[in-house]
Structure 1
């Protein structure tokens, strides 16, 4: 497992060297939300090397930010002893990320729909809504403390 605590920028480049038709597989154990920046740097480097378009990279970065911050805030209740685990698989045509917290989980079906008139001023559900709009899939595993997000690389002629 690669910890962003000890992953220097030069080392990050080493981990993010994908080979065509092969996957980059990485994992992190995060103890602080601020460690996400290191994860995002490595992911951005790998996606750039695989010629993902900037909009695809943005979608993934936004999805990672939402899921990791939600895991710390809602899943782990900002408890300093609880961790968030991130695993990444980045291929030349698609990338997947699994984010797991140490919380009890939640039922995504109970999250209010932020597009309904009665919820327009509420903050609940906006992050999940944005992730579903930007990413190809957002899947929660029971009991709700593991989420898998994915993004297909855009192919343009």
Structure 2
């Protein structure tokens, strides 16, 4: 009996340590955006944006399934914003060719106290601050250009 209790205690402690490690890993997933990048992104958000998202998008190969092998394609940067207009809110998306082999995951949400900037950790921006800032600027500009080209959405 006594041995069973010790074994059970060992597994209880092991499970608690495993749970703590898992929670730590999950909590770290939203990290990955430096304070300076958060400030840069918040300063660059257009006033009509309610939220903004950058994500990795798989390129369309355009070829037949099961065909010959293609060289690895560059990642594409997906960008999406929820935009406030006179008639309500609408979603606008663009897909950009990545100039490098990187794309970034970023979520930006307007709150009552400013902007919340996070990353889910799949492509953390902290790895390449310059690349993040370039892609962010390109994404915001592309969405703004697309909205300007379709003025009926704003009205």
Q: What range is the shorter-chain TM-score in?
A: under 0.3
- Specify which structure has the bigger relative contact order, considering alpha-carbon pairs within 8 angstroms and separated by 6 or more residues: 2
Question: TM-score, length-normalised on structure 1?
Answer: 0.23
The structure with the greater share of residues assigned to strand is 2
- Greater Rg, structure 1 or structure 2? 2
| TM-score, normalised relative to structure 2 | 0.23
